[in-house]
């Protein structure tokens, strides 16, 4: 009997040790799965988030090779990389890439502002940076050379299962309350609906340049000319839109402005080196304008990155050239001005972390963003 009790005692001790080690192992496992909590970022008043759609590291080398110039973006004090992919593919498209940068979550290719397990947003959807900024009382703006219903501006403004749902996208954008929404004219964006939502509907550079005060505006410009560095059709350039948008949004409560140069991607898909390089140069002019404002303001964060790389630009026989007409899974540039702790020089982070760190620069915590918005089905 004594032997039985002794055995049971030893068994309880051994069992206790096993349980303790199991708990410790679980804690260690959870730590490495989730990682340590993200450190807070420096709070800023204004955020200018610039995206060169399809712009990889070698697009910058290609532009310098073809133009024989240096790039302003490469003078920014912090340079790292964004790791691109979507939830369901190692190579992201612009819709999922934009969602990652805007909402801090990876979704399926083709989806906009939704979770991969609820693409119809029947239960919930992630909040995007534009919505987050508006809730904080900041002015908000979206500027693009793409259609206003294009994938990248839509990632920062809507929640829908497909980038092809252009009618739904247009209605959501018109009803978004975003203070300034400028891009190429889309057939689903109707002037009557735009004006009924309180926007001034504009179609030319002259009308854009005449804007003043706090009037909300919705630009539907000539898409054939919008990407160009010079226009003869009274259509603004990306740098002109950037300059005017910053001027209109600048206020004591701060602003969030997303700027996209969409045609680096579009011309890379057809390997049109001359036009793609011209678009990199025009984007760089917009970056220079943003940096000039940030340096004078002293409280503005400027982020420059891309949603993915297009064309698989490589060094071929001593020159940079396209080797594909598709997207690649390459890391893309990430430049930072206005924060000394956004990333470290040379650091590569997930595309979703770019969004997270931007939200933290607005004063939100990693527990508050990404933020899940519950959908009221009865509404």
- The domain total for the chain is 2
Over the stretch 219-252, which tens digit does the pLDDT of each residue have? 999 999 999 998 778 999 999 999 999 999 999 9
Mark whether 55 and 32 lie in a shared domain. Answer: no
Mark whether 24 and 45 lie in a shared domain. Answer: no
DSSP state of 262: T
Mark whether 22 and 103 lie in a shared domain. Answer: no
E-state strands within 53-197? 78-83, 124-126, 139-147, 180-184
Mark whether 32 and 169 lie in a shared domain. Answer: no
Domain span at residue 231 reads 41-374
CA distance 156 to 258: 8
Over the stretch 171-181, which tens digit does the pLDDT of each residue have? 999 999 999 99
Mean pLDDT, the chain, integer: 92
Q: Domain containing 297 — which CATH number?
A: 3.40.720.10
Residue 243 covered by a domain? yes
Mark whether 1 and 138 lie in a shared domain. Answer: no
CA distance 358 to 302: 10
Mark whether 203 and 97 lie in a shared domain. Answer: yes
The pLDDT confidence band at residue 86, using thresholds 50, 70 and 90, is very high
DSSP string, 153-176: HHHTT--BS-TT-HHHHHHHHHTS
CA distance 314 to 319: 8
Mark whether 127 and 100 lie in a shared domain. Answer: yes
Mark whether 130 and 13 lie in a shared domain. Answer: no
- Cβ atoms of 300 and 184 within 8 Å: the answer is no
Mark whether 179 and 314 lie in a shared domain. Answer: yes
Quick one: which of 290, 284, 198, 282 has its CA closest to 247? 290
Mark whether 179 and 322 lie in a shared domain. Answer: yes
The pLDDT confidence band at residue 85, using thresholds 50, 70 and 90, is very high
CA distance 12 to 18: 10
């Amino acid at each position: 009997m004594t032997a039985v009790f002794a055995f049971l005692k030893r068994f309880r001790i051994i069992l206790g040790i096993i349980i303790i080690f199991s708990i410790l192992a679980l804690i260690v496992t959870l730590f490495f799965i989730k990682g340590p909590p993200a450190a807070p970022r420096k709070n800023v008043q204004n955020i200018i988030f610039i995206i060169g759609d399809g712009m990889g590291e070698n697009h910058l080398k290609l532009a310098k090779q073809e133009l024989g110039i240096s790039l302003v973006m490469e003078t920014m004090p912090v340079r790292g990389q964004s790791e691109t992919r979507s939830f369901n593919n190692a190579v992201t498209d612009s819709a999922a890439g934009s969602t990652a940068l805007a909402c801090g979550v990876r979704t399926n290719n083709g989806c906009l502002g939704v979770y991969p397990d609820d693409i119809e947003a029947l239960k919930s959807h992630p909040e995007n940076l534009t919505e987050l900024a508006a809730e904080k009382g900041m002015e908000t703006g979206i500027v693009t050379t793409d259609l206003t219903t294009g994938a990248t501006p839509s990632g920062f403004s809507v929640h829908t299962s497909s980038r092809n749902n252009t009618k739904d996208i247009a209605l959501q954008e018109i009803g978004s309350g975003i203070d300034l929404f400028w891009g190429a004219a889309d057939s689903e964006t109707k002037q009557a609906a735009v004006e009924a939502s309180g926007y001034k509907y504009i179609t030319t550079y002259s009308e854009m340049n005449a804007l003043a005060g706090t009037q909300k505006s919705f630009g539907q410009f000539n898409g054939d000319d919008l990407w160009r560095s010079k226009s003869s059709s009274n259509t603004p350039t990306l740098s002109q839109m950037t300059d005017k948008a910053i001027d209109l949004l600048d206020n004591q409560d701060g602003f969030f402005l997303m700027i996209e140069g969409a045609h680096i991607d579009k011309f890379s898909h057809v390997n049109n080196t001359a036009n793609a390089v011209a678009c990199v140069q025009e984007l760089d002019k917009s970056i220079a304008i943003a940096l000039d404002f940030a340096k004078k303001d002293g409280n503005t964060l400027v982020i420059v990155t891309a949603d993915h790389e297009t064309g698989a630009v490589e060094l071929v026989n001593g020159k940079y050239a396209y080797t594909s007409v598709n997207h690649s899974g390459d890391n893309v540039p990430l430049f930072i001005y206005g924060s000394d702790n956004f990333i470290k020089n040379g650091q590569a982070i997930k595309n979703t972390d770019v969004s997270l760190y931007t939200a933290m620069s607005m004063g939100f915590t990693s527990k508050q963003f990404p933020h899940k918005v519950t959908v009221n089905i009865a509404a």
